[in-house]
Amino acid sequence: MNTKTVKSMAGIVLSQISLVALFPLCICYQTHQSTSSVASLSPQFYENSCPNAQAIVQSYVANAYFNDPRMAASILRLHFHDCFVNGCDASVLLDSSGTMESEKRSNANRDSARGFEVIDEIKSALENECPETVSCADLLALVARDSIVICGGPSWEVYLGRRDAREASLIGSMENIPSPESTLQTILTMFNFQGLDLTDLVALLGSHTIGNSRCIGFRQRLYNHTGNNDPDQTLNQDYASMLQQGCPISGNDQNLFNLDYVTPTKFDNYYYKNLVNFRGLLSSDEILFTQSIETMEMVKYYAENEGAFFEQFAKSMVKMGNISPLTGTDGEIRRICRRVNHDV
C-alpha cells in the first residue's frame, strides 16, 4: 500500500469519527524517564528519516481494530512477549529458519500469539514510505501504544531507535514469560530479571483489562486447583459456574473468554475491580489480590483511581520498552519482520 493510499485510508477512518470521539478516555502522560535510561532512544528518532511513520502505524492499527477489536490486545501482547526475551528486539516476529527455532513455538506463544499479519502489513507500508528505516522492534512499541489508545487508554511518547535482532530464542521464550499458573514470586522474579519492579508488575498486568484467555489457561482453577479435585476458593463461585458452562472439565481447550468480563474491549480499571470481587480470570491475576498485602493495596488503589493506573501504566510501558534495546550498529533494520535480511 503506497503513502497516498495510507493517507486516504486514515482520512476515511478519522473523518467519520473525530479524534475526541475515537479516543474518549485518551490521557497523555509525561513519563519523565531519566536521561541515562533512554539515552540511546528518542521520541524524535524518525522525525527526519521517516516523518510519517507514526501516522502510518496509527492508521493501520485503527483499521485492524475496526476489523477485529480483539487485535488490539493481540498486538499489545506481542510487544510484551518480545521485550521479555533478550530485550525489545522484534525476535518474537521471526519465523524458524535453518537452525534458528522461532519463539512462536514456545508455550507462551504457540496457539495464542496472533497479529503477525497486521505487523507484516504495517511494515510493508513503512518500507514503501521509508525503505530500511523503521525497525520491527520500534513498530511493536508503536502498535502497543496505539492499541491502548484506541481502546480508551492512556497515551505516551514512545522512545524510538531500536534495531532488530538477527536471532530468536525459543529457550528464552519458554523460560522468561510467566504462565497463567505462575506464582506471584515467580512472576516477580521474571519482572525483576528485566529490571521491572513490583509496581511495574501490578500496573502492566492491568493490560489484562482487554483481551482473552483460552479455556486451557484457567481450567485448573475451576476443577482441580490444588490437585485435590477442588475449585480455586479465591474464585467467586457464581463466576466459576458461569465459566464452567463454556469450559468443561475436558475438551473445548481453545474456547475464548474475556479477561475482563465487564468491559472486555475497553481499556479501563475494571481489571482491578474484578480482582477485588474475586473475579479475575487467571490465577496469575487474582494472586495480586490474595497473596501479598503490598500488591493487594495497589490493586485496591487502582480499582478506585483509574487516573493513577493510567499514569503508572504509561510509565511502566516506557520502562519495559527500554529493556536491552539494540542500537547503533547492533542488529539490523529488517526489511521483512519475519526474516533476517540475509534470508530475504
Active-site hit among 32, 81, 225, 342: 81
DSSP SS3 for 165: coil
Is 208 known as a binding-site position? yes
178 is in an annotated binding site: yes
The answer to whether 93 touches 158, Cβ cutoff 8 Å, is no
The reply, when asked if residue 111 is annotated as ligand binding, is no
Is 87 annotated in some ligand binding site? yes
Residue 24 counted as an annotated binding residue: no
Burial class (CB within 10 angstroms; exposed 0-12, middle 13-18, buried 19+) of 52: middle
Within a 10 A sphere around the Cβ of 49, how many other Cβ atoms? 10
The answer to whether 106 is annotated as binding is no
330 assigned ligand-binding residue: no
Can you spell out the DSSP letters for 19-39?
HHHHSTT--EE-----TTTTT
- Determine if residue 230 is labeled as part of a ligand binding site: no
- Does the annotation count 81 as an active-site position? yes
Q: Is 225 annotated as a binding residue?
A: no
Would you tell me the crossing angle of helices 53-67 and 3-16 to the nearest 10 degrees?
A: 60
109 close to 103: Cβ distance less than 8 angstroms? yes
E-assigned strand segments in 67-190: 155-156
Q: Are 146 and 67 in contact (CB under 8 A)?
A: no
**Can you say which residues are annotated as belonging to the binding site?**
82, 85, 87, 89, 91, 178, 208-209, 260, 263, 268
Q: Which residues are annotated as a binding site for Ca(2+)?
A: 82, 85, 87, 89, 91, 209, 260, 263, 268
Q: Which residue numbers belong to the known binding site for substrate?
A: 178
Catalytic sites, residue numbers = 81
Which residues are annotated as part of the binding site for heme b? Answer: 208
